[in-house]
Amino acid sequence: MKQPIQIAVLISGSGSNLQAIIDHQKQHPQDYEIALVISNKANAYGLIRAQNEHIPTKFIDHTLFDSRESFDQTLQQTIDKRQIDLIVLAGFMRILTPQFTQHFLGKMINIHPSLLPKYTGLNTHQRALEAGDTEHGLSIHFVTPELDSGPVILQAKVPITPQDTEKSLKEKVHQQEHLAYPLVIEWFAQGKLEFKDHQTWFEQTVLSKPQQLHDVISL
Ligand code: GRF
């Protein structure tokens, strides 16, 4: 029987996505296990969420390192010590070095709160509102050295209404994130998802455009 894959989740904050993954994992223990949660922030609430579930945690304080490279090296060694099959960035607020992303190429995914390629970087909800967009959403992608630019696996869209504020839009996107991220992890764990030739493959076929959440689950 196939063993569950081991995942590491990297966070810097609240960890609501981590919580969604924890809750999903309990329903799918045959697919994956959360072997480790790493935070670069001591007070990240996600660390408490993990500890509540007896998941091993590690705090690596980035302020103690004199360069991005040395922090990433320690991060890499921490992950490499365990048999980790997939690294899940869930609100990990660090730009990663090309060496790090290259080392884990095809084994690391990120969730970004915009419909990439729109709005890489920060303040995505505010930027979508200011641009007068009528829809917004999230993207889950394989991580490559270019910030928020790896091949997108799955997107979920939410409508922007005239009543929306940054807060309400963020909440709408978060709700979809909590459905989308566990699903992509499950696909990877089941061997449905692969990164090859700088492209995303889903069930042995190149994804020419991202999957849409509403097409793949009934909401
Ligand atoms: C999410 O909006 C995610 O898209 C972004 O960081 C946020 C993390 O939220 N990368 P949480 O810590 O999981 O609540």
Each residue's pLDDT tens digit, 134-144: 999 999 999 99
Q: How confident is the model at residue 218 (pLDDT cuts 50, 70, 90)?
A: low
* Mean of pLDDT values over 96-124: 97
Give the pocket of ligand 1 (CB within 6 Å): 13-17, 90-91, 111-113, 138, 174, 177
Is residue 141 within 8 A of residue 151, CB to CB? The reply is: yes
Q: Pick the more confident residue, 44 or 148.
A: 44
Ligand 1 atom nearest to 19, measured from its CA: 13
Residue 171 CB neighbour total at 10 angstroms: 13
Give the other-Cβ count within 10 Å of 89's Cβ: 22
Largest alpha-carbon pair distance within the chain? 52
Q: How far apart are CA 70 and CA 30, in angstroms?
A: 36
* Atom number of ligand 1 nearest to Cα 11: 12
Say if residue 199's pLDDT is above 90: yes
User: Which residue out of 28, 54, 112, 198 is catalytically annotated?
Assistant: 112
Helix, coil or strand: residue 170 = helix
d(CA 90, ligand 1 centre) in Å:
6
pLDDT at 19 over 80: yes
Whole-number Å distance, alpha carbon 2 to ligand 1 midpoint, is: 31
pLDDT for 1 equals: 74
Where does the chain have alpha helices with state H? 16-27, 45-52, 68-80, 98-103, 124-130, 166-189, 213-216
DSSP string, 56-78: -EEE--GGG-SSHHHHHHHHHHH
Closest residue CA from atom 12 of ligand 1: 15
Beta strand 152-159 with 135-142 is antiparallel
Angle between helices 166-189 and 16-27 (to 10 degrees): 40
Contacts 24+ apart (CB under 8 A), 73-76: 73/99, 75/10, 75/38, 75/100, 76/100, 76/103, 76/104
Whether the per-residue pLDDT at 162 is higher than 80: the answer is: yes
φ/ψ (deg, to 5) at 156:
-135, 135
Q: Percent of the chain beyond pLDDT 70?
A: 99
Atom 14 (ligand 1) nearest CA: 16
Q: Which residues pair with 95 in a beta bridge?
A: none
CA angle 123, 161, 151 (to 5 degrees): 50
Determine if the pTM surpasses 0.75. Answer: yes
Domains of the chain in start order, with CATH, are 5-216 (3.40.50.170)
pLDDT tens by residue, 167-187:
999 999 999 999 999 999 999
**What is the reported pLDDT for 87?**
98
d(CA 68, CA 103): 15
Query: Is 90 exceeded by the pLDDT of residue 63?
Result: yes
